Amino acid sequence: MPVKILTVVGARPQFIKAAAVSRAIRETDGLAEVMIHTGQHFDANMSDLFFDELAIPKPKHHLDINGGGHGDMTGRMLMAIEPILLAEKPDWVVVYGDTNSTLAGSLAAAKLHIPVAHVEAGLRSFNRRMPEELNRIVTDHLSTLHLCPTATAIANLASEGVVKGVHHVGDVMYDATVFALEKAEVSSTILADLQLQPKQYALATVHRAENTGDPERLREVVQFLLEQSRGRTVVLPLHPRTRGAAARLGVSLEGLRVIDPVGYLDMAKLLHHATEVFTDSGGLQKEAYFHRVRCVTLRDETEWTETVTNGWNRLWKGPPHVARNEITDYGRGRAAFEIAELLKDRAPSPAAG
């Protein structure tokens, strides 16, 4: 019998990472995958389109759970995931990153004594006001297999006493970027559609609650983007949360090139040909490096400290960029296959019954 892997995803960054790992699972003998989509990102442009573009198998289970507060959403996910785990009896539950879907999947599995494998284990912003920070800390302490993208992540886990089952595999986002860019350069027409010339615009994204939930903070972020738009276009694919917050708080986005959310291939092409990226997204900070585009993080801290120390990123209120160096920690674009082999080689006996 193949090793049965149950993957839990729910948000855009997880779809991208899962696409790379799912391809590796399909190409590795002795592995089989079942996927749960919690529905945390429910907009077609942020969910269905990614599955189509990245050739991710359709989820066997779609929970359609979104909206509400963090506790409400996580609780509903937990209740829905548990009976699926009991029915599917997986050897592993694989979770990604730091969302409510990640926490719910890892908690449901741990309570049923099913081993959890955490992709992007060990990341820390050291800001516990961020829901994502709490999600990733709890998930790491529930996990059996810690799949770390960097040496810094391994050190973070060690400082918390987590040393077993820890592996430096590199970053699956690098795998995804290599795959997507090749397709995007051929199939995406986004630059022509928006009448943009390569290297004559910047790209921005804003979605985190710390920026969208505080009127003064959101105004400050928008003002920063407007300052960056002097002499060049700043393209802002507008997250639904940010659109709603701006409308509710009366924050004008006039002066920015606001567009609807785009698919992953269009985003890859926009990023690859941008002069600079401004974002509060952890994933996009790294993707900027993979495309060798300079980044400014619209937060007071970043989990990806190596992008700052190596000169590809800086905090918007911090010092300027330092001299650039290549980042070897992220691997060679083969992280997903290393993960698949670890899942196969360290497969425990099924624990749910």
Dihedrals phi, psi of 124, to nearest 5 degrees: -145, 135
Closest by Cα among 94, 3, 1 to 346 = 3
In whole angstroms, give the CA distance from residue 171 to residue 232.
Answer: 32
- Residue 57 in tokens: 């198998």
Instruction: Name the catalytic one among 37, 207, 239, 291.
Output: 207
One-character DSSP codes across 112-157: TT--EEEETTT---S-TTSHHHHHHHHHHHH-SEEEESSHHHHHHH
Dihedrals phi, psi of 169, to nearest 5 degrees: -105, -10
Angle at 16 between CA 12 and CA 18, to 5 degrees: 110
Examine the residue annotation and report whether 70 is marked as an active-site residue of this protein. no
SS3 342: helix
Give me the active site residues, please: 207
